[in-house]
Amino acid sequence: MRAFVFDKYKQPVHEAEAPEPTVGDHDVLVRVNAASVNQLDERIREGQFKPILPYKTPLILGHDVAGTVIRIGSKVRDFKPGDRVFARPRDHRIGTFAERIAVDEADLALAPEKISPVEAASLPLVALTAWQALVEKGKVRPGQKVLIHAGAGGVGTIAIQLAKHLGAQVATTASGKNADFVRELGADVVIDYRTQDFETELSGYDLVLDSLGGENLAKSLRVLRPGGKAIGISGPPDPAFAKEAGLNPVLRLAIAALSSKIRRQAKKLGVTYEFLVMRASGDQLREIATLVDNGSLRPIVGKTFSFDQTPQALDALAKGGIRRGKAVITGP
């Protein structure tokens, strides 16, 4: 089948003939109708995750899929051929930049009924990230104050909407030209990161979702109330992540060192920092699909590319060419 792969770390993505997916007892074979691109794809290709998420090459990239069920494994009961589905396949089983992919049934859900496959493909990774940050780790409650950085981006557009659905007061950072856009998504306070310093404008926040890291994360700690929490999705990883990932003792020590400075800063301020690596979950995608169909969440597709343009889609994302929402690749 046709697929887009990279042969070695740091080498460009190119089209290749790939083997047909193997369908296990609990797998669902999906015809790819659309797939979206994520920063994670580029970071894996560059080898940034190699120590904690090693892949054998050549590797088919792609972490989001919307498609149609072709065939099911012998023990699958909740899906049937012809179903419209969407998923973020689990780590080590990615590969949505292809004509077909086998997905573990636990990672899969029926796609929202009221949106297109292109819109559905834009959702899984970013919506699961927002859900796990705000619902699981953040436990956001009505009336709380939540700051979401990069509100016009893939995660930000969904996180703003989800935080508002949970009853929070939402602040976000965005460029001035995207201010009205993020307000339409539900942001109550918009900070123009080009002309304003969010640290001097905001205070007393219960939760910050940070997708930028570095100094932005350090400043985020200082807008939290005592007992507040910053959740980082760009890093640095923390010891809890290393433990959950089952990493060896040497890597655990290295990861602890990476986040030691930010954890010390958090402790001094009386706040906490947690690192989030999103995990696949069909159950959570079912919750998300319900929110989409009842109008609480709407996908934001910033740009579409044909399957033949997969390398260009990844390049546009890497160079910051996607200013709003997600870039989606339409199926072969």
The reply to whether 99 and 191 lie within a common domain is no
Selection from 77, 82, 90 nearest residue 30 by Cα: 82
Residue 31, domain member (yes or no): yes
> And the tokens for 125?
């990774």
The reply to whether 111 and 45 lie within a common domain is yes
pLDDT of residue 51: 80
The reply to whether 72 and 155 lie within a common domain is no
Selection from 134, 130, 155, 210 nearest residue 324 by Cα: 155
pLDDT of residue 251: 84
pLDDT of residue 252: 86
The reply to whether 326 and 268 lie within a common domain is no
- Which domain range does residue 197 map to? 125-275
CATH number, domain at 166?
3.40.50.720
The reply to whether 40 and 112 lie within a common domain is yes
Selection from 292, 262, 291 nearest residue 274 by Cα: 262
Selection from 63, 55, 145, 137 nearest residue 97 by Cα: 63
E-state strands within 105-193: 108-110, 145-148, 169-174, 189-192
In this structure, the strands spanning 14-17 and 2-6 are antiparallel
The reply to whether 175 and 55 lie within a common domain is no
E-state strands within the chain: 2-6, 14-17, 27-36, 59-60, 65-72, 84-87, 100-104, 108-110, 145-148, 169-174, 189-192, 205-210, 224-232, 272-275, 301-305, 326-330
Q: What is the pLDDT along the chain (332 residues), one digit of tens a residue?
A: 999 999 999 999 999 999 999 999 999 999 999 999 999 999 999 998 888 788 999 999 999 999 999 999 999 999 999 999 999 999 999 999 999 999 999 999 999 999 999 999 999 999 999 999 999 999 999 999 999 999 999 999 999 999 999 999 999 999 999 999 999 999 999 999 999 999 999 999 999 999 999 999 999 999 999 999 999 998 788 888 888 777 788 888 888 888 899 999 999 999 999 999 899 999 999 999 999 999 999 999 999 999 999 999 999 988 876 778 999 999 87
The reply to whether 47 and 186 lie within a common domain is no
The reply to whether 137 and 118 lie within a common domain is no
The reply to whether 110 and 184 lie within a common domain is no
- The DSSP code sequence of 181-198 is HHHHHT-SEEEETTT--H
CATH number, domain at 116?
3.90.180.10
Domain count, the chain: 2
